[in-house]
Amino acid sequence: MKGLSVSKAVTALMLAGLVLLPLYSQLSGNIFILTLFTRIVILALAAASLNLIMGFGGMMSFGHAAYLGIGGYAVGMLAQEGVGSGFIQFPVALAASAIYALVIGALSLRTRGVYFIMITLAFAQMAYYVASGLARYGGDDGLTVYKRSDFSGLIDLSNRTQFYYLCLACLFGVIFLIWRIVNSRFGLVVQGLRSNEQRMQAIGFPAKRYQLVCFVISGTMCGLAGALLANNTDFVSPAVMYWTRSGDLMVMVILGGMGTLFGPIMGAVVFLLLEEFLSQITEYWALIMGPLLLLIVLFGRGGIMGMLGRAGRG
Amino acid sequence: MAEPLLRVEKLVRRFGGIIATDNVSLDVAAGELHAIIGPNGAGKTTLISQLTGHLEPHSGSVSLAGRDITYLPAYRRCALGLARSFQITSLLLDFTAADNVALAAQAHAGTSFRFFANARKEKGLRDAAHAALDRVGLGHRADVVVNRLSHGERRELELAVALASKPKLLLLDEPMAGLGVTESQRMVKLLQELRKEVSIVLVEHDMPAVFALADRISVLVYGRVIASGDPAAIRANEEVKRAYLGDQHVVTHHG
């Protein structure tokens, strides 16, 4: 029980830190930290959505960054075509991600294991090359978003603090939804399928349709992260869909703790802060980052959340 | 005789040149406990897999309560009232015993496309789970994660999971496999209770158990049913003695 309370305390501390961060930024005059953490919160949202299929559903998708691109391009392309309203851009971003997930999922879920990893990766790379070929929307060079999504005065995305809180609200909303989903009938079936598909079929559950719905929910959530990311950087390019980005998201999930509610947030915070500070110290930061991640993955079963649990018990 | 609950007709399944199921026909009446025995390699598991939908036959048919289920996938057969236990225990190891059983109940209680309400707080499902666990004597272990259950307890849990789907027909693939003497005796007692409520097809190596439990026995050798009848008839059957029981008698006499 004490183990639970240690990881709970750390989680609570982290969440409180995220909520109070704009206050600190304002008091200390450190604007950079707010920008950095806006990015962290958005990628935590993406990692949380990946965790739904990877951690809870046992579906190792190696193409999750595709949704960051799809959500981002939906915002960028609509903005370019003169549709600046967020009330149109965001629903389109979510719908496009959902449709992509439905098609990719229906095809990929015919396979299992390594083949599933490879086929999701292949589809994401296809999305990457399609985006690179969109000459009208910048092709390889990407697309500048000159005006952030307009929510007609409801919220101003150009205001750093307001935008940060919008992202944080989206993250908390998604975590809340995931919490409800994993404890629902549907969530238990999906986790049962992760645990033992043969058994689930034998008691009467057709695997694929549950996994597909889960895949679509996850993709839609990540599309939201994509739409926010494009607004954050005022820019979207094929690079956000590149396979290394999908890898980063996987690392965040594994680092934080697969199949835990707050693990992906923890993973995103640690991963991106490490990346930020190590790259300030040396240009060879990847040489330190790589082994460090390897150590955590090798010796910290269950990621940071798992280690916190054991630290409390031990 | 009325329409049998399970009817298997001229079932054939080949693996390359080997005929693993060779023109097998058998009927299981409602309320009956029908045992299938046979030496290793006789094709018992191949036959069971075709009944459960894990393997498709090359010809012949399987029907449940008059409905042709030969080519239905496993999950559809389960919805029609066919439940099974596995020869090698197959459970959700990282779930509690109660969760395992509740999921089986959930599969038969409305849609599982419900995303918001906490399924572990659904009284109907939990009650059904606890009733099935009590039935097999695992009530006190409901909240233990399956990983921590003993082998014997897992065999009992397999039964509880099968019962929770309120089946018409229970297919038990070697439920005594790997059980000790006392555990086996408990399992036999349990099956004696269950047979009053549900029809059972029992595949089993434990001969004393089979002869104690079965209404009828079919003997499978090299994929073929060489004899089918009540225990007394099977015991007296010369061909069965030669092909199967004979070997065992020799062994027991030497032992």
- Could you please report the per-residue DSSP string of A56-102? IT----S-THHHHHHHHHHHHHHHHTT--BHHHHHHHHHHHHHHHHH
Residue of A nearest to B106 (CA): A185
The token pair at B126 is 């939990």
Chain A residues with CB-CB distance to B118 below 8 A: 180, 183-184
pLDDT confidence of residue B22: 92
Residue type, A141: D
Interface contact flag, A192 B92, Cβ < 8 Å: yes
**CA dihedral of A167, A171, A177, A181, whole degrees rounded to 10:** 140
Distance CA B163, CA A117 (A): 37
Start-to-end CA distance of chain B, whole Å, equals: 43
Structure token pair of residue A192? 């049962």
Per-residue pLDDT tens for B141-162? 999 999 999 999 999 999 999 9
Taking contacts as CB-CB distances below 8 angstroms, the residues of chain A near B111 are: 185
CA-nearest residue of chain B to A179? B116
Binary contact (A202, B86; C-beta < 8 A):
yes
B240: nearest Cα among B225, B223, B253, B255: B225
**Each residue's pLDDT tens digit, A178-200:** 999 999 999 999 999 999 999 99
Q: Do A189 and B103 make contact, defined as CB atoms within 8 angstroms?
A: yes
Q: Which of A54, A63, A48 is nearest to A225 (CA)?
A: A48
Of A116, A124, A122, A121, nearest in space to A58 by CA: A116
List the one residue out of B91, B175, B104, B99 whose CA is nearest residue B142. B99
Report how far apart, in Å, the C-alpha atoms of B175 and of each of A166, A289, B28, B145, B202 are. Answer: 56, 52, 19, 21, 8
How far, in Å, CA of B141 to CA of B148, rounded?
10
Among residues B86, B120, B89, B115, the alpha carbon closest in space to that of B103 is found at: B120
Q: In the prediction, which pLDDT does B87 show?
A: 86
A142 φ, ψ (degrees, to nearest 5): 90, 180
CB contact under 8 A, A205 and B75: yes
Which residues of chain B make contact with A181, given a CB cutoff of 8 A? 115-116
A179: contact with B, CB 8 A cutoff: no
- Please report which helix (H) or strand (E) contains residue B228, including its range: strand B224-229
Q: Are B34 and B24 in contact (CB under 8 A)?
A: no
| Strand-pair partners of B12 | B59
Are A203 and B99 an interchain contact pair (Cβ–Cβ within 8 Å)? no
* Helix, strand, coil percentages for chain B (3-state, nearest 5): 40, 25, 35
A152 touches chain B (CB under 8 A): no
Find the helix or strand (DSSP H, E) in which A51 lies. helix A31-51
How far apart (Å, rounded) are the C-alpha atoms in residues B137 and A22? 57
A206-261 pLDDT tens trace: 999 999 999 999 999 999 999 999 999 999 999 999 999 999 999 999 999 999 99
Can you tell me whether residue A265 is helix, strand or coil? helix
Tokens standing for residue A167: 């992202």
Distance to chain A for B54, nearest Cα, Å: 9
Amino acid at A242: Y
The secondary structure element, H or E, covering residue A255 is helix A243-256
What are the residues of chain B with a beta carbon less than 8 Å away from any beta carbon of chain A?
A: 52, 73-75, 78-79, 83-84, 86, 90-95, 99, 103-104, 106-108, 111-120, 122, 161, 164-165
pLDDT at res. B249:
46
Instruction: Write the pLDDT tens digit of every residue in B219-229.
Output: 998 899 999 99
Q: How high is the pLDDT of residue A302? A: 86
Return all residues near A58 (Cβ < 8 A) that are at least 6 apart: A193, A194, A195
Query: Which of the residues in chain B have pLDDT under 70?
Result: 1-2, 244-255
For A199, the closest of B73, B90, B116 (CB atoms) is B90
Walking along chain A (314 residues) 10 residues at a time, the average pLDDT comes out as 75 96 94 95 98 96 96 97 95 98 97 94 96 93 94 92 97 98 97 94 92 98 98 96 95 93 96 93 88 83 86 70
Go through B159-190 and write b for each residue having 16 or more CB atoms within 10 A of its CB, e for each that does not.
Answer: bbbbbbbbbebbbbbbbbbebeeebbebbbeb
- Please identify which residue in the block is written with the tokens 């930024």: A25
| Residue ranges in chain B assigned as alpha helix (H) | 44-52, 74-79, 97-106, 123-135, 151-164, 181-194, 207-213, 231-236, 238-240, 246-254
What is this structure's pTM? 0.91
Dihedral (C-alpha) B234, B237, B240, B246: value to the nearest 10 degrees? 100
Of B93, B107, B116, the CB nearest to A203: B107
Q: Spell out which residues of chain A touch residue B103, defining contact as CB-CB under 8 Å.
A: 188-189, 192, 200, 203, 205
| B78 → closest Cβ in A183, A192, A202 | A202
Phi, psi (deg, nearest 5) at residue A154: -65, -45
- Distance CA(A188)–CA(A56), nearest Å, equals 9
User: What's the pLDDT score for residue B251?
Assistant: 41
Whole-angstrom Cα distance, residue A107 to residue B244? 49
Return the SS3 of B3: coil
* Cβ proximity of B25 and B58 under 8 Å: no
Burial class (CB in 10 A: 0-12, 13-18, 19+), B229: middle
Q: Which amino acid is at A90?
A: F
Alpha helix positions (H), chain A: 2-28, 31-51, 65-80, 86-108, 113-132, 160-183, 185-195, 197-202, 207-233, 243-256, 263-281, 285-299, 303-313
Residues A212 and B33: their CA atoms lie apart, in Å, by 40
Chain B contact present for A301, CB below 8 A: no
Are the beta carbons of A48 and A269 closer than 8 angstroms? no
